[in-house]
Amino acid sequence: MSSQSNSADDHLTEVPERHRETADAVIPEHTSLYIGGEFIDSDSGETFTTTDPTTNQKLASVARGTEADVNRAVEAAWDAFDTEWSGYDSGDRQRVLLEIADTIDAHTEELAQLETLDNGKPITEATIDIRSSAEQFRYFAGIVRENSGETMTDDTRYGQVITEPYGVVGQIIPWNFPLMMASWKLAPALAAGNCTVLKPAEQTPLSALRLAELIDDIVPDGVVNVVTGFGDEAGEPLTRHPDVRKVAFTGSTAVGKQVMKNAAENVTDITLELGGKSPIVIFPDVDVAKATQLISAAIFYNTGECCEAGSRLFVHEDVADGLLGALVDGIDAMTIGDPLLEETDLGPKVSTEQVDRTLEYLDAAREAGGEFLVGGDRPDDAALSDGCYVEPTLIEGLDHDHVAVQEEIFGPVLEVFRWDDYETMMELANDVDYGLAGGVITDDITQANRAARDIQAGYIWINSYHDLAPGLPFGGHKQSGIGRELSADTLDHYQQTKTINLSLR
One-letter amino acid of 112? A
Task: Write the CA distances from 130 to 63, 124, 219, integer angstroms.
Answer: 24, 10, 19
Query: The sheet that has 495-503: what strands, in order across it?
Result: 150-153, 157-165, 495-503
CA dist., res. 350 & res. 347, Å (int):
9
Choice among 195, 307, 308, 415 that is catalytic = 307
Element (DSSP H or E) covering residue 160? strand 157-165
197 bridge partner residues: 170, 225
For the residues of 325-366, what is the DSSP string, one character each? HHHHHHHHT-EES-TTSTT-SB---S-HHHHHHHHHHHHHHH
> CB–CB of 171/185 below 8 Å?
yes
Instruction: Note the helical H segments in 84-191.
Output: 90-106, 108-119, 123-143, 178-191
List 273, 308, 391, 485, catalytic entry = 273
Residue in 393, 367, 389, 363 with CA at minimum distance from that of residue 378 = 389
> What's the sign of the alpha-carbon dihedral 134, 135, 136, 141?
positive
Nearest to 284 by CA among 325, 313, 316, 314: 316
CA 237 to chain centre: 22
List the beta bridge partners of residue 414: 394
What Å distances lie between residue 30 and 41, 218, 238, CA to CA? 10, 17, 22
Q: Which residues pair with 399 in a beta bridge?
A: none
The rounded distance, in Å, linking the Cα atoms of 414 and 300 is 9
Is residue 499 within 8 Å of 149, Cβ to Cβ? no
Task: Give the C-alpha separation, 393 to 347, whole Å.
Answer: 14
For 297-314, b where at least 16 C-beta lie within 10 A, e where not — what string?
bbbbbbbbbbbbbbbbbb
- Distances from the Cα of 164 to the Cα of 133, 185, 221, 238, 266, angstroms: 25, 17, 21, 22, 19
Residue 347: which of 126, 128, 50 has the closest Cα? 126
On the 0-12 / 13-18 / 19+ scale of CB atoms within 10 A, 230 is middle
Half-sphere exposure of 268 (CA within 13 A, CB side): 28
Whether residue 306 lies in the annotated active site: no
Q: What span, in angstroms and rounded, lies between the C-alpha atoms of 247 and 235? A: 10
**Amino acid letter, 267:** V
Phi (first) and psi of residue 480, to 5 degrees: -95, 5
Residues acting as catalytic residues: 273, 307
